[in-house]
Structure 1
Amino acid sequence: MRAMRADVEALDIADVTANWVNAAVLQHQIDERVKALADHAHTPLFFGRLDYLHAPGAESAEGGEGEPPAGGGSQEWRCYIGRRHVHDADGDPMVIDWRAPVSQPFYRASKKDPLDVALRRRFGYTGGELTAYEDEDLTDPAEAEKGVASKLLQAEIERPRVGPMRDIVATIQPEQDEIVRAGLGGTVCVQGGPGTGKTAVGLHRVAYLLYAYRERLARTGTLVIGPNRSFLHYIEQVLPALGELEVRQATVGDLVAHRTRAEVRGEDRAAAAALKGDARMGEVLRRAVRSGVTMPTEPCVVVRGSRRWRVPAYEIEELVRELLARDIRYEAARAALPQRIAHAVLVRMEAAGEAPDDRVQDTVARNAAVKAAVKAVWPPVDPAKLVLRLLSEPDFLAERAEGLLTAEEQKLLLWEKPARSVKSAKWSAADVVLIDEVADLVERTPSLGHVVLDEAQDLSPMQYRAVGRRCSTGSVTVLGDLAQGTTPWATGSWGEALAHMGKPDGRIEELTAGFRVPREVIAYASRLLPEIAPGLAEVTSVRESAGSLEIRRVEAGELDGAVLAACREALGREGSVGLIAADARVAGLAGALSAAGVPFLAPGEEASAVVRLTLVPVSLAKGLEYDYVVLDEPAAVVAGEPDGRTGLRRLYVALTRAVSGLWVVHGADLPTQLAA
């Protein structure tokens, strides 16, 4: 890898470009290549080996067929599988990228279907140092009967979680690999319970698509959308470890704020936020955008030299109605109207014996009389001003919401204290999504090639629409768990969510094998499923960890002390520790930890060997994972939500953040589903 990087750095481009612009572009590409070849000291370059019975295709091995194994038969071929492609001085591959077709059998081959693989070897590492290996003979019928699980695979899955999320490239399972390698053309929705690896699958899918469709996605772009910035910080190192440095990450709030330039300074009540996120608001806004269009009452008279050309009002009205019927974006129609009026003038010129061309039509379209006529019937729209008016003027809202929203719902939407201007408006997060919708109705939102949307179950229909228009001509990978929906507007089904995104034909996949949460813990949390997500399949964990769950009942006055004791017990073991508590309890626990001299971090801060405890408000726990979790007062978690079902879903999230062990410490009674 160092030699490959040195080769790139040594390139001399002084005499290979025609001008300084080409030289600058080429130098930038070289710099990016050098950056991509950076070595990660504690990330092993290869993790597996395949011994094929026959030589795989040359094109599959990135320009080489692999090397014959030392001492092996002439019909055997060996490929080392890793995170990156590495070649020697002659250009022959030493390590094959895990995304290459020739690497696929490492994940898919089985004793029942060996895919022409004689032997699969897995390598084990400790801190970047090779410490173990394990061979699996896929041609031995006796081995096929045993069905022994890989010990190295189990050890990698159970390795302590310290620091940001890491890749799972060495442990991808066949059902996960099928989703990762799905083509770019289709939309995939992954329903996965806690610990099934859906987030990792989505990130590895981005890496695969960038490998298989690099040129196309370099033009159109990729984006990973997460629920909050703490979550994005947690996952931000996964793609760079796989050699992908240019993938943008954002929240839905980041996207709409960037487009609208509106600052979120207010907050809605839950009922108002849910209504603003309702799909019916899309039609209300469409009506509001078009409400400014009026029919002309005066003709348009264009003066050119000594001639006057008159287009009557009824003819302009026909043009306006035709554009409205086409239902194209507001600004596109507004730009087309002067051209239509100018064309009507040219028809009259031709009838009078003149021979105008396209330049004349463009000149007429820019004529002051035509501009005035267009402005009168099709005025410009400012998205923020339109939403401000909709939320401030009862009569304007009533006219646009007729037949869509009840009088009570309209009253719920209206601001108690209307803002005087856009700058003074205290926009809520839901308001900014409405402005974004209007902005798209006015001018088309640019589309990306592929978007990964994680924790998607918590989005409102209007937020789904905001994401969908950013991949309107591309595809999307949707990741989530219906049982973890903790917003009042959480989606009820993935089919409904995909329809809001404009991707109704998306394929829905379900992951039910758990690799993160111990079996004892996930079984305990799954007691809530009949209440929070009836009909959803329970996750079956492959991990057995005896004693991984402990429930401690204490007196109410002793709760803080018992929580501190559980934290100290967890810190006595190897790995990260998360103390998860209801948001209202966080400040008090922070004071107790400080008073006891126990250092702690906030979500998103980097853990270290010295400070391994993170104090996590339950509202930010989704998507995070810790080796050990201390859960403070489940009853307070449930009570902190606007309704019981949402509270139980929030509790389900908190219960399933543990990788190795969970302490549930409570002074109040547990929810009835967990009390037995």
Structure 2
Amino acid sequence: MPSPAHPSPDDHPHPPHHPHNPSSTALHAERAHLAASRAALRAMRKDAENLNITDVTANWVNAEVLQGEIDARIKALADLSHTPLFFGRLDYLHAPGIDLAEGAAGESFYIGRRHVHDADGDPMVIDWRAPVSQPFYRASKKDPMDLELRRRFGYTGGELTAYEDEHLTGPAVTAPSGSPEEAHTSRLLQAEIERPRVGPMRDIVATIQPEQDEIVRAGIGGTVCVQGAPGTGKTAVGLHRVAYLLYAHRERLARAGTLVIGPNRSFLHYIEQVLPALGELEVKQATVDDLVAHVPVRATDEAAAAMIKGDARMAEVLRRAVRSHISVPEEPCVVVRGSRRWRVPAYELEELVRELTDRDIRYGAAREALPQRIAHAVLVRMEQAGEAPDDRVQDAVARHAAVKAVVKAAWPPVDPAKLVLRLLGDADFLAEQAEGILTPEEQKAILWTQPGSGKRAARSVKSAKWSAADTVLIDEAMDLIERTPSLGHVVLDEAQDLSPMQYRAVGRRCTTGSATILGDIAQGTTPWATGTWDEALAHLGKPGSAVEELTQGFRVPREVIAYASRLLPAIAPGLTEATSIRESAGDFAICRVEPDDLTAAALAACDDALKKEGSIGLIASEARIPLLRTALEAAGIACLAPGEETSAESRLTLVPATLAKGLEYDYVVLDEPAAIVDGEPDERTGLRRLYVCLTRPVSGLTVVHAAPLPEQLTDQRASPWTA
């Protein structure tokens, strides 16, 4: 059970004496172990730097590869002064892995972000992902997992200043106050959770909770979908799951690759330091738009057109369009070799084409197989004539001009971009391929027409003004022709906003691998937002995958999450309302002002927040962002754009509501909620966007408004804050 954290001697020169209080002697010993561990880490890095591979590699290519691996190892062994080398200690009753009946003596292990060993190879710090570290996250009084004691460490500026013990066996310990310590959340853990957020997202390796750890350590064989309410740590869980899988299955994932997919560049910039802090430097990050960037995007679809293009039915339209190029040969194929002529009749060529068509393999693979099938038919005739052709003869026949001519006519090459260009620009072709799939009205909505009609002209791939939805169609067509390479594991965050066709694009990248899907149905803000995770997983190609729900929040103050949850019945009635374990209710104020005072009130709220420690996010509708930026400049208040939070120029970020998803700030000033709702195509989407914005704060929220709030949020309380 937790005992009070021992503060720094500088903070409390005369701490109270108690038999169970952390002693200064013990704290000194822990600091000594930290110093020794850092020295060992420096020695490990020095050993890596001194490696000489001159006589090890056979050629310069191998030398380059090996040197790259050594450089990565050196970089991973960097000692980050403000990142604790270890954050916990486990005292086992028995040596792990030894039968309890043997009565083996217990051992102690320090748990940290990376493995550190001394000159003899003995571990000084154990990687948090190792099996022996698991009880740090899951052990309890009910199931101590053979632990006698779990110790957490507190740091200030990289210096070990406190520790806190939880005795998992034996009688309850009485705190100095005289009350039994039955709390499940330690004070150091609570302090770490509530520590101010400044700069990019940080790892949660010291605060992972049991339900999160189960997801993090789930096996690589299956896909896991995480439905997580705001502040439940689903993004951090997904990133730590990547780090764990790379530890447990490094060789496999090193070959196949790992990818983290986020909703936008600002979000990826915000999370980009988490994995490097855990020692993982090679994980790639991208948006869905990056994956399908086959042509430049220079246009935006209307919502109706984008929804149709994102519909899963378009996959069948494209499949038909690709296969519409196949035709049945009407003439025989005659191959001349020397003085002999070998004839394959048209009916036999037709059988070969129909056989490949019926197999429904990819267009490109079938096109490569057809000349070999024709060549085989020629070789059968050669053998019947008494010749003995070998594989070289078959390859030569397959490359014969007559065979190539048949293949080109019956199974011509297809360019994916040109195919989509024709599909969207040729009304007759679209009608033919979409018959029985899309209605005439739907076909008209996505069709490109000639200049003057108000829609884009489509004359060539290079000149066409492609939209983001068009690039997904091209990606689908490419996969129909040639298989998309599969990665070992893909993490897809903010997945609720993807269209079915986008899910298919992501699913193609992990057909032979697994995925971690992260999202919140209540935060879906696109017209095609996910209705259920079962539907999403089916489009992804992972039907029946496990869906885990996280409802215990760690980031959003409890009063704020309760307020935002008033919107759930309107935006996601089937979801469980989130709770918050944060002890502090947080600063929360609703301030109504006159319309002419709105901008001044928002700036006053920002100025008030800047007097406190931590980051500030001023979130507003797209329409009000230019006005607020001008007002901030006029007031001499520096501000950043989303993704620039690593800058030391300001702690204030001006955030368009459309980019707020996934971000977090200590204090949020929310400008005019009604404008955020009105900025979306429909009320439900607007309320979902507002729900996202309301749930970005870590310590406090101030809502400034002139227009009436949505009826779900109507609050008659007097505001504790005034402009």
TM-score range, shorter chain: over 0.9
Pick from 2, 7, 11: which aligns with 2:51?
11
Partner in structure 2 of residue 50 of structure 1: 90
Conserved? CA contact 2:551–2:576, under 8 Å = yes
Residues in 2 aligned to 1:593 and 1:267: alpha-carbon distance in whole angstroms: 30
Are residue 201 (structure 1) and residue 256 (structure 2) matched?
no
Unpaired runs of 5+ residues, structure 2, are: 1-40, 174-179, 449-454, 716-723
What is the aligned partner in structure 2 of residue 124 from structure 1?
Answer: 154
Match of 1:311 in 2: 344
Task: Tell me the amino acid that sits aligned with residue 183 of structure 1.
Answer: G
Answer with 3-12 or 491-500: which moved more: 3-12
Contact 2:558 2:586 survives alignment (8 Å): no
8 A Cα contact 1:486 1:650, kept in partner: yes
Task: Please point out which of 449, 467, 485 is paired with 1:428.
Answer: 467
CA contact (8 A) 1:601 1:607 kept: no
Cα 1:645–1:137 change in 2 (3 A) is same
> Cα deviations across residues 304-347 of structure 1 (Å, max 9, x unaligned)?
11111111111111111110111101000000000001111111
Q: CA deviation at 1:32?
A: 1.8
Q: 1:336 aligns with which of 369, 388, 393?
A: 369
Structure 2 equivalent of residue 245 of structure 1: 281
Tell me the percent identity: 80
Per-residue CA deviation, residues 498-551 of structure 1 (Å, 9 max, x unaligned), is 000100021100001000000000000000000000110000111132452100
RMSD of aligned alpha carbons = 1.4
SS across alignment from 1:471: coil
Q: Deviations over 1:468-494 (max 9, x none)?
A: 000000000000000000000001000
Question: In 2, are the aligned partners of 1:512 and 1:540 still within 8 Å (CA)?
Answer: yes
What does residue range 236-315 of structure 1 map to in structure 2 within 5 Å?
A: 236-257=272-293, 260=294, 262-315=295-348
Distance 1:290 1:58, change over 3 A: farther
Report the Cα distance in structure 2 between the residues aligned to 1:479 and 1:211, rounded to whole angstroms: 21
Instruction: State the Cα distance separating 1:146 from its structure 2 match.
Output: 1.8
Q: How many residue pairs are counted as aligned between the two chains?
A: 660
Whether 1:646 and 2:646 are equivalent positions in the alignment is no
Mapped partners of 2:307, 2:693: distance in 1? 24
Q: In structure 2, what is the equivalent of residue 32 of structure 1?
A: 72
Q: Deviations over 1:449-478 (max 9, x none)?
A: 000000000000000000000000000000
Please say if 1:495 is aligned against 2:531: no
Q: TM-score scaled by structure 1?
A: 0.96
User: Secondary structure of the residue that 1:440 maps to in structure 2?
Assistant: helix
Q: Residue 127 of structure 1: CA displacement? A: 1.8
Contact 2:645–2:651 (Cα < 8 Å) also in 1: no
Match of 1:210 in 2: 246
Counterpart of 1:632, as a letter, is D
AA matched with 2:217: R
**Aligned-partner Cα distance in 1 for 2:46–2:440:** 70
Structure 1 segment 17-166 matched on structure 2, within 5 A = 17-57=57-97, 75-142=105-172, 146-166=182-202
Tell me, yes or no, if the aligned pair for 1:330 and 1:443 is still in contact at 8 Å: yes
2: CA distance between counterparts of 1:241 and 1:29?
18
- More off after superposition, 9-18 vs 514-523: 9-18
* Whole-Å separation in 1 of the counterparts to 2:456 and 2:246: 49
Q: Select which of 221, 230, 241 maps to 1:185.
A: 221
Equivalent in 678, 684, 695 of residue 656 of structure 1: 695
The 2-side partners of 1:581 and 1:375 are apart by 57
Instruction: Tell me, in whole angstroms, the C-alpha distance in 1 between the residues paired with 2:289 and 2:91.
Output: 48
Output the CA distance in 2 between the equivalents of 1:602 and 1:133.
38
Following superposition of structure 1 onto structure 2, how do residues 434-453 of structure 1 map, counting pairs within 5 Å? 434-453=473-492
* Structure 1 residue 608 displacement after superposition: 5.0
CA contact (8 A) 2:92 2:107 kept: yes
Q: Separation in 1 of the partners of 2:490 and 2:649?
A: 37
Distance 1:574 1:496 in 2: 43
Q: Which runs of 5+ in 1 are unaligned?
A: 60-72
Partner of 1:390, secondary structure, is helix
CA contact (8 A) 2:586 2:699 kept: no
Match of 1:64 in 2: none
Q: How does 1:354-369 map to 2 (within 5 A)?
A: 354-369=387-402
1:632 and 2:671 equivalent?
Answer: yes
SS of residue paired to 1:477: strand
1:609 to partner: Cα distance: 5.4
Contact 2:557 2:586 in 1 (8 A): no
| Runs of 4+ residues over 4 Å off in structure 1 | 607-610
Mapped contact 1:580–1:630 kept (Cα < 8 A): yes
Asked whether the equivalents of residues 617 and 665 of structure 2 are also in contact (C-alpha less than 8 Å), the reply is: yes
Please, what TM-score do these two structures have when normalized by structure 2?
Answer: 0.90
SS at 1:142 equivalent: coil
